[in-house]
């Protein structure tokens, strides 16, 4: 399962770690994909299982450059959950091109046609754990297999 995040600092990174722990507790193999704005880069050492990219990994049209493009070709997910609740062009483009069989995301302008399942949350500061649980519960209700 891929988990896509936008983080602006250590507090956001701690929230990501909490979701990853929750997903692993559910016995799910997770691969966090994190976008961090260059101007707000995270000054901490992260888990090696986290893939962190930034604006420098994209060209002027928000298309991934070679290293990121290679990484994208090597990774595919049964499920991708988008935890970014802002309209960030790099994250939106990344979400659209990641190889995934099923995508879950929040409903916001420009993303609704990218989701297989849309969850509408209008809060500015969303609890990542609650969003994860809501996504998994919706999958259970729809009887959709996830790994």
For the chain, helix (H) and strand (E) counts, in that order, are: 4, 8
Q: Name the packing angle between helices 128-142 and 10-25 (round to 10°).
A: 30
Residue 70 reports pLDDT greater than 70: yes
CA 101 to chain CA centroid, Å, is 14
71-93 tens-digit pLDDT? 888 889 999 999 988 888 888 88
Residue 118 reports pLDDT greater than 80: yes
Question: pTM of the full predicted structure?
Answer: 0.85
What Å distances lie between residue 107 and 17, 20, 39, CA to CA?
Answer: 23, 22, 26
Q: Which domains does the chain have, with CATH numbers?
A: 2-142 (3.40.50)
| Closest-CA residue to 2 (of 80, 96, 114, 58) | 80
Note the pLDDT of residue 5: 92
- CA pair distance 9, 21, nearest whole angstrom: 19
Q: Give the pLDDT band of residue 124 (cuts 50, 70, 90).
A: low
């Amino acid at each position: 399962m891929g988990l896509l995040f936008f983080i602006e600092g250590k507090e956001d990174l701690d929230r990501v770690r909490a979701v990853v722990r929750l997903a692993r507790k559910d016995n799910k193999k997770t691969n966090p994909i994190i976008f961090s704005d260059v101007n707000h880069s995270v000054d901490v050492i992260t888990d090696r299982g986290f893939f962190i990219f930034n604006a420098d990994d994209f060209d002027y049209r928000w298309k991934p450059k070679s290293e990121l493009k290679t990484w994208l070709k090597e990774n595919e997910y049964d499920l991708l959950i988008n935890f970014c609740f802002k309209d960030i062009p790099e994250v939106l483009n990344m979400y659209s091109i990641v190889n995934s069989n099923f995508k879950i995301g929040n409903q916001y302008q420009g993303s609704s046609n990218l989701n297989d399942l849309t969850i509408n949350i209008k809060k500015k500061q969303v609890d990542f754990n609650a969003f994860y649980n809501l996504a998994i519960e919706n999958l259970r209700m729809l009887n959709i297999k996830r790994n």
